[in-house]
């Protein structure tokens, strides 16, 4: 394909930090999204538009004078455009609306009897959200212009939900895909948002030609929510929407992880050393591992309680199993997240206190950013415990099976997008049901080796069969199809 690609996301693939010598040093982000999109951009010589996150990013943005930052890293050349957004505007857009409101709505996180309560504080943060989305749309239109117009725009996630529509207003025939990496709530729940926010977010997304989701559950909830808007016609059977005389296709493209990069990262001397250390620490215990951000959706407290219930029901497992929880801090600006971290720590401490023995604690909680520690733990688990309340996709459920060396069993929430792809080789659980989760832990620990082998192989095969490039490729094909369906003008 000769079409150029322009990506937009809140966070860019490279972060610049001023080093001790005063020169900005670059750090590359990890994860399937960056890998997938970097690969696609490399081929298409495209551009990545993002918000400047650090002082270093900001300096690079200012130095580029609203132009592009060229950054070569190994054999990959990045062309970046970083937007310098005033901190108070960014705060309203990022903490106020994106993570304070949309994230909660899409993940059913509200305590409806008490929260949310939308007051006079919504209007100013909403204004910031619109402002940042407008800056992105403007930058994308300019970049598209520089590329000569034959461009595919790949817009990422709920931070930029208004961009498709705003960009469409600037470039009416633009070819736009918006991808949601979160879950989506159904229409009744989404209507809890302030009416204006609710309507504008949906109409903003509907500016795209293609809307991508990780799971059929989220795509369906979006279609149903869109059906609430006057003048919008939704065809559920064909998964498409007619709005303003345009067709919007709603499509499912589950993202995956970059197997080669992960295996390389796990083969370093540092990870080997960590793995040996962990293996000594585990001693003769079977090992249950969870790896998560300290995020409200991840269901860490109930996970500990399910494990506690398992130990109380099966006391013969005491001193024979350990639960290692690797938890990285997240969104510490939001008070709900700080409270949740405290609750996780307190619950683990209580259980260790009640069920521990001299020299043996049931739970080891490590709260810090430690990707290499996670890579080491992936190699060693007997059970990988992934029980989010709800989750757009969940990449831990893919990373673990790719690196595990003990035919470990995956216990996986049926509310994770990943369940749609991996469910048949995992033990599925309802994340609210301690009874079911505790039984799944028992089943995983007692599973015969043949069955464990069959499942472990199935999981890594599925992950390997879906490289990140396929995720981008699917969206680009959908865009070409959308273009062919357009009426000839």
The first and second tokens of residue 1, run together, are 């394909």
Under rule CB under 8 A, residue 346 binds its own copies: no
CA distance readout (Å), 59 to 24, 77, 134, 466: 9, 20, 22, 38
Give the x-and-dash track for 380-399 against its own copies (CB under 8 A).
---------xx---------
Among 23, 195, 449, 488, binds its own copies (CB under 8 A): 195
The first and second tokens of residue 354, run together, are 């009640």
Q: In what order do the strands lie in the sheet with 321-328?
A: 363-367, 321-328, 286-293, 383-386, 409-413, 427-429
- Name, in order, each residue with C-beta under 8 angstroms of 42's C-beta and a sequence gap of 6 or more: 76, 77
Under rule CB under 8 A, residue 432 binds its own copies: yes
Q: Are 192 and 149 in contact (CB under 8 A)?
A: no
In whole angstroms, give the CA distance from residue 462 to residue 470.
13
Q: Which helix (H) or strand (E) holds 386?
A: strand 383-386
3-class secondary-structure state, position 256: coil
Under rule CB under 8 A, residue 192 binds its own copies: yes
Rounded to 5 degrees, φ, ψ at 178 are -115, 130
Q: Which helix (H) or strand (E) holds 9?
A: strand 4-11
Among 53, 76, 89, 109, binds its own copies (CB under 8 A): 109
Q: Are 296 and 337 in contact (CB under 8 A)?
A: yes
Under rule CB under 8 A, residue 305 binds its own copies: yes
Nearest approach, Cβ of 442 to its own copies (angstroms)? 14
Binding residues among 124-163 for its own copies as defined by CB under 8 A: none
Among 16, 317, 340, 425, binds its own copies (CB under 8 A): 340
Under rule CB under 8 A, residue 420 binds its own copies: no
The first and second tokens of residue 97, run together, are 């609306």
Rounded to 5 degrees, φ, ψ at 379 are -65, -25
Under rule CB under 8 A, residue 283 binds its own copies: no
Among 194, 216, 329, 423, binds its own copies (CB under 8 A): 194
Q: Are 185 and 221 in contact (CB under 8 A)?
A: yes
- Name, in order, each residue with C-beta under 8 angstroms of 203's C-beta and a sequence gap of 6 or more: 165, 229, 243
Rounded to 5 degrees, φ, ψ at 290 are -130, 145
Nearest approach, Cβ of 11 to its own copies (angstroms)? 25
Among 187, 329, 356, 473, binds its own copies (CB under 8 A): 187
Residue closer to its own copies (CB basis): 59 or 336 = 336
Residue closer to its own copies (CB basis): 17 or 435 = 435
Among 21, 72, 117, 230, binds its own copies (CB under 8 A): 117
Under rule CB under 8 A, residue 221 binds its own copies: yes
Residue closer to its own copies (CB basis): 302 or 452 = 302
3-class secondary-structure state, position 82: strand
Give 333: exposed, middle or buried? Use CB within 10 Å, 0-12, 13-18, 19+.
exposed
Q: Which stretch binds its own copies (CB under 8 A): 64-72, 283-291, 362-370, 428-436?
A: 428-436
Among 20, 22, 74, 119, binds its own copies (CB under 8 A): 119
Nearest approach, Cβ of 340 to its own copies (angstroms)? 7
Nearest approach, Cβ of 33 to its own copies (angstroms)? 24
In whole angstroms, give the CA distance from residue 400 to residue 287.
13
Q: Are 129 and 98 in contact (CB under 8 A)?
A: yes
Nearest approach, Cβ of 67 to its own copies (angstroms)? 41
Among 53, 54, 84, 108, binds its own copies (CB under 8 A): 108
Give the x-and-dash track for 223-252 against its own copies (CB under 8 A).
-x-----------x----------------
Under rule CB under 8 A, residue 416 binds its own copies: no
- Between strands 240-243 and 286-293, the pairing is unpaired
User: Which of 411, 391, 392 has its CA nearest to residue 401?
Assistant: 411
Among 1, 62, 63, 123, binds its own copies (CB under 8 A): 123
Nearest approach, Cβ of 234 to its own copies (angstroms)? 11
**Measured in whole angstroms, how far is the alpha carbon of residue 390 from the centre of its chain?**
12
Among 114, 280, 357, 484, binds its own copies (CB under 8 A): 114
Q: Which stretch binds its own copies (CB under 8 A): 29-37, 216-224, 273-281, 314-322?
A: 216-224
Among 141, 296, 325, 447, binds its own copies (CB under 8 A): 296
Among 43, 435, 446, 451, binds its own copies (CB under 8 A): 435
Nearest approach, Cβ of 307 to its own copies (angstroms)? 13
Q: Which helix (H) or strand (E) holds 412?
A: strand 409-413
User: Which of 321, 356, 325, 352 has its CA nearest to residue 341?
Assistant: 325
Residue closer to its own copies (CB basis): 389 or 396 = 389
The first and second tokens of residue 265, run together, are 């990262």
Site for its own copies, rule CB under 8 A:
107-114, 116-120, 122-123, 183, 185-189, 191-195, 217, 221, 224, 236, 296, 301-302, 305, 309, 336, 340, 389-390, 414-415, 430, 432-436
């Amino acid at each position: 394909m000769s079409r150029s690609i322009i990506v937009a996301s809140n966070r860019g693939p490279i972060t610049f930090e001023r080093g001790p010598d005063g020169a900005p040093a670059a750090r590359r982000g990890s994860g399937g999204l960056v890998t997938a999109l970097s690969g696609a951009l490399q081929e298409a010589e495209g551009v990545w538009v993002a918000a400047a996150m650090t002082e270093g990013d900001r300096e690079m943005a200012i130095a580029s004078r609203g132009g592009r930052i060229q950054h070569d890293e190994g054999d990959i050349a990045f062309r970046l455009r970083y937007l310098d957004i005033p901190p108070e505007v960014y705060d309203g857009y990022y903490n106020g609306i994106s993570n304070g409101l949309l994230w909660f709505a899409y993940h059913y996180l509200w305590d409806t009897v008490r929260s949310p309560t939308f007051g006079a504080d919504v209007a100013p943060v909403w204004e910031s959200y619109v402002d940042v989305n407008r800056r992105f749309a403007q930058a994308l239109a300019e970049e598209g212009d520089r590329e000569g117009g034959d461009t595919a725009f790949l817009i990422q996630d709920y931070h930029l939900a208004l961009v498709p529509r705003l960009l469409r207003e600037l470039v009416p025939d633009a070819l736009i895909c918006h991808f949601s990496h979160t879950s989506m709530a159904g229409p009744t729940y989404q209507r809890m948002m302030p009416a204006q926010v609710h309507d504008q977010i949906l109409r903003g997304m509907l500016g795209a030609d293609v809307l991508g989701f990780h799971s059929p559950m989220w795509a369906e909830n979006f279609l149903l929510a869109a059906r609430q808007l006057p003048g919008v016609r939704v065809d559920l059977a064909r998964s498409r929407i007619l709005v303003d005389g345009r067709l919007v296709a709603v499509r499912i493209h589950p993202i995956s992880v970059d197997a080669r990069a992960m295996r390389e990262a796990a083969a370093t001397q540092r990870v080997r050393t960590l793995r040996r250390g962990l293996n000594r620490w585990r001693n003769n215990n079977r090992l249950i591992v969870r790896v998560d951000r300290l995020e409200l959706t991840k269901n860490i407290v109930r996970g500990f309680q399910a494990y506690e219930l398992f130990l109380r029901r099966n006391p013969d497992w005491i001193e024979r199993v350990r639960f290692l929880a690797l938890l990285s801090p997240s969104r510490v600006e939001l008070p709900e997240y700080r409270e949740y971290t405290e609750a996780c720590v307190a619950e683990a401490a209580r259980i260790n206190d009640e069920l521990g023995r001299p020299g043996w604690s049931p739970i080891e909680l490590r709260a810090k950013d430690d990707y290499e520690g996670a890579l080491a733990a992936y190699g060693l688990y007997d059970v990988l415990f992934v029980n989010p309340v709800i989750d757009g996709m969940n990449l831990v459920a893919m990373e673990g099976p790719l690196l595990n060396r003990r035919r470990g069993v995956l216990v996986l929430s049926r509310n994770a997008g990943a369940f749609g792809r991996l469910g048949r080789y995992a033990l599925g659980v309802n994340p609210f049901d301690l009874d079911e989760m505790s039984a799944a832990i028992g089943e995983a620990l007692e599973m015969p080796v043949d069955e464990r082998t069959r499942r472990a192989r199935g999981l890594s095969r599925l992950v390997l069969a879906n490289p990140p490039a396929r995720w981008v490729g699917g969206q680009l094909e959908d865009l070409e199809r959308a273009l062919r369906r357009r009426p000839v003008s």
